């Protein structure tokens, strides 16, 4: 199904992409909506700590577990901390976890995959084996194992998410690079005396990049869900750091007793973010991969 | 892409090709499995915590701890421990869990049906919802319906599974009282049906016990729904993409042009041909769900292999983690093989062209 | 379209399955429900034998209910009406008579006592069981030694029905130690038949089978999922229990446990978050019994070898900075007995636990810290993730409070499996933990927590010759009945503990049990687990 070689992009210039993007956004209000959400998330990540009404770490035991009100829009948690402030401030960390793990897997998986597809032979075999081995693992348990073994820090959560996604990136990158290896423009570059590395860097990578970017958006959502799952079994970030997953996991114990807001608002924030990344990924795919346009 | 069935190859040839493929695929899987065994072993040894201290009990003296360590064979060098593990593995011995005190192989065997039944039902529910959604979306691409389908399925995959599960329990058990207590596979006052397949739904039917069948079905609904919600997106997406591709192909256009009704064209012609990639996706989704199960099992107190592995991992209990990962890896390999065979049976051309 | 049909059928299925709504107990089964107790808890046993390697605490509960001891405790009633074990009074269980001499105790076994397979209980079984406890190593051997029960030669078969324990030395804890869970009497002939050369004590067999003479036997055990116990109608150790069958289900999620109780599906649960207990108590639909842990304290431990905590002024500063009342309010919801803020003129008592005189006073804390000259303090504060529900909010509040006097902390979650390893290392500078001793004697607590010996519970790595003198003195005085020396030494070590402040007591935790209104008969035991024998339903 991934026979992109059949439709090599003739006009890969920036203007064409912009025009096409505008077309897709216009055609596809959901993507437009997702893009607006994305901007909001980025803003919250950048300015969050400066605009929130309360210190997200300050407890106020006289105000513990208060329902949403004008003072506390999302209510307060067990220690009387403002849930709204915590949810907003958490955006930066969650966004960081998502972006960092995706960037890492992009570097590891993307480069390994491109090299495998381009050079073939042993490189291909080794990368393929590594990817197969990781794929054979139950992925969430592998992530758990990595975090449990290395310690539950943000870095390790990022690393675990990246490793778990490695096969996906490696395979996509490999397939794309493999197709282009024999493509006309690569042949032309080769004939004009360019080295393999040069071709790899200037001809192959720029073409594989957009395909991977689509994947990155989808993986960002997964990274946040993964972190939330780890929090649920006690392997999340260090308290009292606000992070959506751990807030949902800790708030869950208050659902039955009626203090739903503890889990609900961070859960909603988490869902909105993941939702946004997923929709954006879809939208990006439409832009980058016109084959899907019908 | 796609096309009406082509009459084809003689049977004998086909069977030989199939066998060669199976053997080849199995051989290819071996290095991965070895990799899994080695990585799991190293990973579990890197877990924090000293099982000897844990199992020596409260207030143990250093001598007592050392004694436990010797008993567990943890005083040996890592390479020797690995050697022992491999030898045991070759004898089909997966070791004994320290936290539950049972042989890992027995426990996995007892718990696997619970996880498999739940995951399969979740997958079925998901297919029942997702495939029609995907078809509808594909018939009117970029319409409001298409967008709605996309939003619904994406929303499902955007929620952490444990959160979905907890919300369902809260609403349907605690608030409404429609669902039974989240207490595992069967209400406490039913006895489990005689063991045939390990699937309570099937076993109770075999035993001719509709009461137990309904009881276990009730227990299954919420966790299966949780899994289904989570797996809607990939199946809907694949169905839509695959349908789109087929719908734009020549033979569908021909069928349309020859005046067949839209229903006949979509269901009889397009859908059948669009099934192939969907089946591949199903295999992936199944193995993904079986892994994602761990959190759902925890929420619903489900006695499956996922919850077993999580508890073991948190207790630095090596044997169950190793056994679980290995079982999952073997299942993953077998499942992929099965899908390839299925794929080959549905469309004989695939094998030749691949 | 087809899709709609599909959806319709799914809805119909859901509805059909849901119609006989919460009728989890069908009428035909009402009778069995009357005699069945459904218990839900967070975790279950990993071994049915307390002598096993690494048997966990839920395993102790099985052992307590399925095996008999020679003697057990009488019950007394607390002011709030809860039956509470009487630590000073013993009554026979398998023995019908106990005769304590100067250097030995002689027990006469009940004539009619039989094991669950029908064979009579003899003195040989008792000796074999005790030999096993002092030989297998690990926890059972350690617990026996706490009562100076260490050598097989101490256990003598006089005749089939007469058994004698010879004392190694005079020890006040010897007789109480015979009433704890460990010295349980096992069907030795049956176990020997199932023992192997590698496993002479048959630990593998008793791991899976309860082979005692106790009131219950395990008939089904699915590790991590459920334990089913049936009553042993041949039990002779006391009046026949009312509950015929106990179903103990493992429900990991606390919210689900509460929901099960509130909806009337579960009969008893004893591990819920404090908040849930306090709300259920106010709500009044369930019976909630709260009893302070005997000899137990939740505390903030300070490693006295770790600078700057080697300076007592810094420890005082920490003790003045702790947010005691906040912890009582939002972590415990009042379900704990404060161990802080005693009035300045309170006299030290011969008792443990008792409150210290520190209270939250940030100004004093800042002043003390300034006097000590310590600055730039940045340490991790660790807790056991297995009890995160209480430990984490405590640590978060303590962190915030310490920050205000200039001590920066990072919270370190230690997975349950790793906690004991960390305790053994004695390197955590700051942590919270709970300690509770089965044997309710001050010197027992201090021996484990403050004595400079090798106990892992002296996690502060506190070394004080003066403390050791007090503790050893009290133990010796108790053995010989020299009560004036004993009182002096107990007051001495309590005062010293509060002067040196290596660990800062927060509160005495409560054991909370939630039961349906039709369930009664809960008794508090030193092991804090349930005794099914006294429960009544309906």
User: Cβ distance B351 to B344 under 8 Å?
Assistant: yes
Label residue C420 exposed, middle or buried (CB < 10 Å: 0-12, 13-18, 19+): buried
CB atoms within 10 A of CB C102: 6
| Distance, CA of C244 to CA of B10 (rounded, Å) | 68
Residue among A27, A233, A255 whose CB faces B166 most closely:
A255
Kindly tell me if the per-residue pLDDT of B189 is higher than 80.
Answer: no
Smallest CA–CA distance from A80 into chain C, residue: C330
> What does C235-273 look like in DSSP terms, one character per residue?
--SSSPPS--EEEEEE---HHHHHHHHHTTS-SEE----
Instruction: Give the per-residue pLDDT at B57.
Output: 67
Q: Tell me which of C330 and A206 has the higher pLDDT.
A: C330
Q: Does A160 touch chain B (CB under 8 A)?
A: no
User: Cβ distance A82 to A68 under 8 Å?
Assistant: no
pLDDT digits (tens, 9 = 90+) for B239-289: 888 888 888 777 777 877 777 777 777 777 777 778 777 877 787 788 778
Q: In chain A, what are the domain boundaries?
A: 2-292
- Mean pLDDT check: name the lowest of A15-19, A124-128, C103-107, C486-490: A15-19
Q: Print burial letters for B212-251: b (CB count within 10 Å at least 16), e (below 16).
A: bbbbbbbbbbbbbbbbbbbbbbbbbbbbbbbbbbbbebee
Mean pLDDT of A195-204: 79
Q: Does C382 touch chain A (CB under 8 A)?
A: no
Q: Does C417 touch chain B (CB under 8 A)?
A: yes
Give the number of beta-carbon pairs within 8 Å between A and C. 62
| Distance, CA of C213 to CA of C173 (rounded, Å) | 25
Kindly tell me if the per-residue pLDDT of B351 is higher than 60.
Answer: no
> What does B5-45 look like in DSSP terms, one character per residue?
PPP---HHHHHHHHHHHHHHHHHHHHHHHHHHHHHHHHHHH
Kind of pairing between the strands at C245-250 and C36-41: parallel
Which of chain C's residues have a Cβ under 8 Å away from the Cβ of B261? none
Q: Tell me which of B106 and B349 has the higher pLDDT.
A: B106
pLDDT digits (tens, 9 = 90+) for B192-218: 788 888 898 988 888 888 888 988 999
| Distance, CA of B148 to CA of B129 (rounded, Å) | 14
| Distance, CA of C133 to CA of C119 (rounded, Å) | 22
Q: What is the maximum span of chain A, computed from C-alpha positions, in angstroms?
A: 76
Which of chain A's residues have a Cβ under 8 Å away from the Cβ of B245? 1
Q: Tell if the CB–CB gap between A148 and C415 is shorter than 8 Å.
A: yes
B111-314: CATH topology is MetI-like fold (1.10.3720)
pLDDT digits (tens, 9 = 90+) for C244-296: 999 999 888 788 888 889 888 899 998 889 999 999 999 899 999 999 988 99
| Distance, CA of A49 to CA of A62 (rounded, Å) | 24
DSSP code of residue B79:
H
Which of chain A's residues have a Cβ under 8 Å away from the Cβ of B309? 138, 141
Q: Is C443 left (phi over 0), alpha (psi -120 to 50) or beta?
A: alpha
Nearest to C76 by CA among C92, C98, C91: C91
Instruction: Give the per-residue pLDDT at A26.
Output: 66
Q: Tell me which of A19 and B211 has the higher pLDDT.
A: B211
> Residue A153's pLDDT band (boundaries 50, 70, 90)?
confident
Residue among A64, A148, A239 whose CB faces C330 most closely:
A64
Phi, psi of C183 (to 5 degrees): -75, 65
> What does C480-535 look like in DSSP terms, one character per residue?
HT-HHHHHHHHHHHHHHHHHH-SEEEEEEEEEEEEEETTEE---B-TT-S--GGG-
What are the CA-CA distances from residue C464 to residues A17, A70, B211 (Å)?
Answer: 76, 56, 68
Q: Tell if the CB–CB gap between B189 and C24 is shorter than 8 Å.
A: yes
What are the CA-CA distances from residue C290 to residues A229, B255, C80, C221, C260 (Å)?
Answer: 34, 76, 9, 29, 20
- Mean pLDDT check: name the lowest of A126-130, B218-222, C3-7: C3-7
Q: Where exactly does CATH 1.10.3720.10 map onto chain B? A: 111-314
Q: Which pairs count as long-range contacts for C53-58, CB under 8 Å and 24+ apart, including other chains?
A: C53/B55, C53/B68, C53/B71, C53/C138, C53/C203, C54/B54, C54/B55, C54/B56, C54/B57, C54/B68, C54/B98, C54/C138, C55/B57, C55/C139, C56/B99, C57/C529, C58/C529
Kindly tell me if the per-residue pLDDT of B159 is higher than 90.
Answer: no
Kind of pairing between the strands at C336-338 and C245-250: unpaired
Q: Tell if the CB–CB gap between B291 and A294 is shorter than 8 Å.
A: no
Give CATH for domain A2-292. Answer: 1.10.3720.10
Kindly tell me if the per-residue pLDDT of B290 is higher than 80.
Answer: no
| Distance, CA of A85 to CA of A90 (rounded, Å) | 8
User: Which residues, 6+ apart, have CB-to-CB distance to A24 below 8 Å?
Assistant: A31, A283, A286, A287
Give the number of beta-carbon pairs within 8 Å between A and B. 153
Instruction: Give the per-residue pLDDT at C31.
Output: 61
Mean pLDDT of C346-354: 92
Which of chain C's residues have a Cβ under 8 Å away from the Cβ of B184? 225-226, 249
> Residue B188's pLDDT band (boundaries 50, 70, 90)?
low
Mean pLDDT of A91-103: 92
- Mean pLDDT check: name the lowest of A210-219, B35-44, B150-159, C220-229: A210-219
Mean pLDDT estimate for chain C: 89
Instruction: Give the per-residue pLDDT at C188.
Output: 95
Q: Which two tokens stand for residue A52?
A: 């929130």
Instruction: Give the per-residue pLDDT at C28.
Output: 45
CA dihedral of residues A126, A128, A131, A137 (deg, nearest 10): -100
- Mean pLDDT check: name the lowest of A280-289, C17-26, C494-503: C17-26
Mean pLDDT of A226-255: 86
Beta bridge partners of B25: none
- Say what percent of chain B tops pLDDT 90: 9
CA dihedral of residues B112, B113, B119, B122 (deg, nearest 10): -160
Instruction: Give the per-residue pLDDT at C214.
Output: 94
Kindly tell me if the per-residue pLDDT of C13 is higher than 70.
Answer: no
Kindly tell me if the per-residue pLDDT of C437 is higher than 90.
Answer: no
Q: Tell me which of B353 and C451 has the higher pLDDT.
A: C451
pLDDT digits (tens, 9 = 90+) for B9-27: 556 676 777 788 788 878 8
Q: Tell me which of A160 and B6 has the higher pLDDT.
A: A160
> What does B158-215 look like in DSSP terms, one character per residue?
TS-HHHHHHHHIIIIIIIS--SPPS-SSS-TTSPPPPPSSS-HHHHHHHTT-HHHHHH
Kindly tell me if the per-residue pLDDT of B77 is higher than 70.
Answer: yes
B52 by DSSP, 3-state: which? helix
Identify the chains in contact with C, defined as 3+ C-beta pairs within 8 A. Answer: A, B
Residue among A142, A229, A271 whose CB faces B162 most closely:
A229
> Residue A213's pLDDT band (boundaries 50, 70, 90)?
confident
Q: Inter-axis angle of helices B318-346 and B104-139, to 10 degrees? A: 40
Nearest to C20 by CA among B217, B151, A61: B217
| Distance, CA of B332 to CA of B290 (rounded, Å) | 10
> Residue C12's pLDDT band (boundaries 50, 70, 90)?
very low
The alpha-carbon gap from C215 to the nearest alpha carbon of chain A, in Å, equals 36
Which of chain B's residues have a Cβ under 8 Å away from the Cβ of C201? none
Q: Is C83 left (phi over 0), alpha (psi -120 to 50) or beta?
A: beta
> Residue C165's pLDDT band (boundaries 50, 70, 90)?
very high
| Distance, CA of C206 to CA of C204 (rounded, Å) | 6
**Model-level ipTM above the cut of 0.85:** no
| Distance, CA of A136 to CA of C475 (rounded, Å) | 60
Q: Tell if the CB–CB gap between A78 and C275 is shorter than 8 Å.
A: yes
Mean pLDDT of B182-187: 80
Kind of pairing between the strands at C430-436 and C377-384: parallel
Instruction: Give the per-residue pLDDT at C492.
Output: 95
Q: Which two tokens stand for residue A114?
A: 């491109």
CB atoms within 10 A of CB A24: 19
Distance of CA C302 to the CA centre of its chain: 23
Kindly tell me if the per-residue pLDDT of C6 is higher than 50.
Answer: no
Smallest CA–CA distance from C273 into chain A, residue: A253
Q: Does C389 touch chain A (CB under 8 A)?
A: yes
C369 by DSSP, 3-state: which? helix
In this structure, is the dihedral angle defined by the CA atoms of residues C404, C406, C410 and C412, taken in order, positive or negative?
negative
Nearest to A215 by CA among A245, A159, A175, A155: A175
- Say what percent of chain C tops pLDDT 90: 70
Instruction: Give the per-residue pLDDT at B273.
Output: 78
C387 by DSSP, 3-state: which? helix
Using CB atoms and an 8 Å cut-off, which of residues 113-142 of chain A contact chain B? 129-130, 132-133, 135-142
Q: Is A78 left (phi over 0), alpha (psi -120 to 50) or beta?
A: alpha
Mean pLDDT of B26-55: 83
User: Which residues, 6+ apart, have CB-to-CB distance to C49 below 8 Å?
Assistant: C55, C59, C63, C203, C206, C207, C210
CA dihedral of residues C459, C465, C471, C474 (deg, nearest 10): 180
| Distance, CA of A142 to CA of B292 (rounded, Å) | 11
B72 by DSSP, 3-state: which? helix
Which of chain C's residues have a Cβ under 8 Å away from the Cβ of A149? none
């Amino acid at each position: 199904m991934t026979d992109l070689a059949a439709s090599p992009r003739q006009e890969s210039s920036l203007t064409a992409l912009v025009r096409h993007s505008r077309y897709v956004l216009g055609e596809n209000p959901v993507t437009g909506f997702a893009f607006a959400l994305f901007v909001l998330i980025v803003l919250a990540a950048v300015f969050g700590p400066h605009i929130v009404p309360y210190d997200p770490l300050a407890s106020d035991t006289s105000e513990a577990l208060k329902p949403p009100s004008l003072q506390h829009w999302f209510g307060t948690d067990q220690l009387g901390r403002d849930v709204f402030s915590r949810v907003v401030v958490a955006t930066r960390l969650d966004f960081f976890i998502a972006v960092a793990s995706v960037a890492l897997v992009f570097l590891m998986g993307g480069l390994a995959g491109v090299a495998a597809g381009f050079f073939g032979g042993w490189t291909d075999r080794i990368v393929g084996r590594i990817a197969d081995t990781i794929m054979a693992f139950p992925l969430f348990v592998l992530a758990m194992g990595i975090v449990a073994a290395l310690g539950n820090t943000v870095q390790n959560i990022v690393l675990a998410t990246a490793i778990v996604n490695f096969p996906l990136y490696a395979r996509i990158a490999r397939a794309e690079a493999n197709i282009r290896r024999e493509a006309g423009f690569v042949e032309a570059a080769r004939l004009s005396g360019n080295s393999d590395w040069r071709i790899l860097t200037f001809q192959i990578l720029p073409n594989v990049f957009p395909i991977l970017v689509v994947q990155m958006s989808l993986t960002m959502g997964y990274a946040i869900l993964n972190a939330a799952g780890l929090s649920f079994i006690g392997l999340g970030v260090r308290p009292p750091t606000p992070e959506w997953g751990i807030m949902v996991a800790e708030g869950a114990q208050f659902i039955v007793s009626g203090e739903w807001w503890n889990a609900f608002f961070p859960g909603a924030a988490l869902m909105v973010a993941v939702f946004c990344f997923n929709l954006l990924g879809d939208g990006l795919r439409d832009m980058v991969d016109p084959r899907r346009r019908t | 892409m796609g096309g009406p069935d082509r009459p084809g190859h003689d049977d004998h040839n086909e069977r030989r090709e199939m066998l060669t493929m199976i053997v080849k695929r199995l051989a290819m899987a071996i290095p991965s499995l070895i990799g899994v065994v080695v990585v799991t072993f190293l990973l579990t040894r890197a877990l924090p915590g000293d099982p000897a201290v844990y199992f020596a009990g409260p207030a143990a003296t250093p001598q007592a701890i050392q004694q436990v360590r010797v008993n567990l064979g943890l005083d040996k060098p890592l390479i020797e421990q690995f050697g022992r593990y491999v030898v045991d593995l070759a004898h089909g011995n997966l070791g004994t869990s320290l936290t539950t005190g049972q042989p890992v192989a027995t426990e996995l065997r007892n718990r696997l049906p619970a996880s498999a039944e739940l995951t399969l039902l979740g997958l079925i529910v998901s297919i029942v919802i997702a495939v029609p959604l995907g078809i509808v979306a594909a018939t009117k691409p970029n319409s409001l319906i298409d967008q709605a389908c996309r939003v619904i399925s994406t929303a499902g995959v955007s929620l952490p599974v444990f959160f979905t599960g907890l919300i369902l329990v809260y609403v349907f058990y605690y608030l409404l009282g429609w669902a039974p207590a989240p207490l595992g596979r069967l209400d406490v006052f039913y006895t489990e049906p005689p063991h045939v397949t390990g699937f309570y739904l099937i076993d109770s039917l075999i035993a001719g016990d509709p009461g137990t069948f309904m009881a276990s079905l009730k227990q299954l609904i919420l966790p299966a729904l949780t899994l289904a919600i989570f797996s809607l997106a990939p199946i809907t997406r694949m169905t839509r993409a695959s349908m789109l591709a087929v719908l734009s192909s020549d033979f569908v256009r021909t069928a349309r042009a020859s005046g067949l009704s839209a229903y006949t064209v979509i269901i009889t012609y397009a859908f059948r041909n669009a099934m192939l990639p969907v089946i591949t996706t199903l295999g992936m989704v199944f193995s993904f769900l079986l892994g994602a199960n761990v959190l759902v099992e925890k929420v619903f107190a489900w006695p499956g292999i996922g919850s077993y592995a999580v508890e073991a991992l948190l207790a630095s209990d090596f044997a169950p983690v190793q056994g679980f990962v290995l079982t999952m890896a073997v299942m993953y390999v077998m499942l992929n093989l099965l899908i390839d065979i299925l794929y080959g049976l549905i469309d004989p051309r695939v094998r030749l062209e691949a | 379209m087809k899709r709609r049909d599909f959806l319709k059928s799914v809805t119909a299925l859901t509805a059909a399955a849901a119609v006989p709504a919460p009728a989890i107990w069908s009428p035909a089964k009402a009778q069995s429900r009357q005699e069945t107790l459904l218990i839900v808890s967070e975790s279950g046993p990993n071994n049915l034998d307390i002598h096993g390697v690494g048997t966990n605490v839920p395993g102790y509960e099985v052992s307590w209910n399925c095996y008999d001891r020679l003697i057990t405790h009488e019950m007394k009633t607390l002011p709030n009406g809860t039956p509470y074990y009487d630590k000073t009074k013993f009554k026979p269980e398998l023995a019908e008579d106990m005769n304590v001499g100067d250097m030995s105790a002689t027990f006469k076994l009940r004539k009619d006592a039989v094991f669950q397979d029908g064979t009579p209980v003899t003195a040989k079984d008792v000796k074999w069981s005790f030999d096993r406890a002092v030989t297998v190593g690990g926890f059972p051997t350690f617990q026996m030694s706490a009562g100076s029960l260490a050598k097989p030669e101490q256990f003598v078969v006089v005749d089939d029905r007469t058994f004698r324990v010879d004392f190694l030395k005079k020890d006040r804890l010897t007789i109480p130690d015979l009433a704890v869970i460990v010295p349980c009497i096992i069907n030795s002939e049956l176990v020997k038949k199932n023992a192997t050369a590698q496993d002479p004590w048959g630990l593998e067999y008793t791991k899976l089978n309860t082979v005692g003479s106790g009131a219950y036997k395990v008939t089904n055990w699915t590790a991590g999922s459920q334990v089913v116990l049936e009553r042993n109608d041949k039990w002779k150790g006391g009046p026949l229990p009312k509950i015929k069958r106990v179903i103990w289900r493992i429900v990991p999620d606390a919210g689900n446990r509460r929901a099960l109780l509130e909806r009337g599906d579960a009969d008893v649960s004893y591990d819920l978050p404090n908040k849930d207990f306090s709300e259920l108590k106010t709500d009044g639909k369930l019976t909630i019994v709260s009893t302070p842990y005997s000899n137990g304290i939740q505390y903030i431990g300070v490693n006295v070898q770790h600078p700057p905590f080697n300076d007592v002024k810094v420890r005082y500063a920490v003790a003045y900075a702790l947010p005691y009342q906040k912890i009582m309010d939002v972590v415990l919801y009042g379900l704990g007995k404060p161990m802080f803020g005693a009035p300045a003129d309170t006299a030290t008592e011969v008792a443990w636990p008792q409150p210290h005189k520190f209270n939250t006073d940030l100004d004093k804390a800042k002043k003390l810290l300034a006097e000590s000259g310590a600055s730039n303090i940045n340490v991790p504060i660790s807790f056991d993730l297995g009890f995160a529900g209480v430990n984490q909010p405590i640590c978060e509040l303590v962190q915030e409070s310490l920050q205000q006097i200039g001590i920066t902390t990072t919270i370190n979650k230690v997975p349950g499996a790793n906690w004991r390893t960390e305790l053994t290392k004695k390197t955590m500078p700051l942590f919270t933990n709970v300690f509770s001793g089965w044997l309710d004697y001050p010197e027992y607590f201090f021996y484990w927590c403050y004595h400079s010996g090798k106990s892992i519970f002296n996690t502060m790595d506190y070394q004080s010759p003066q403390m050791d003198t007090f503790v050893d003195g009290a133990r010796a005085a108790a053995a010989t009945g020299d009560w004036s020396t004993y009182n002096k030494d107990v007051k001495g070590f309590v005062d010293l503990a509060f002067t040196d402040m290596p660990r800062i007591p927060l509160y005495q935790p409560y054991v909370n049990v939630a039961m349906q209104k039709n369930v009664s008969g809960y008794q508090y035991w030193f092991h804090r687990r349930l005794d099914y024998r006294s429960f009544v339903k309906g």
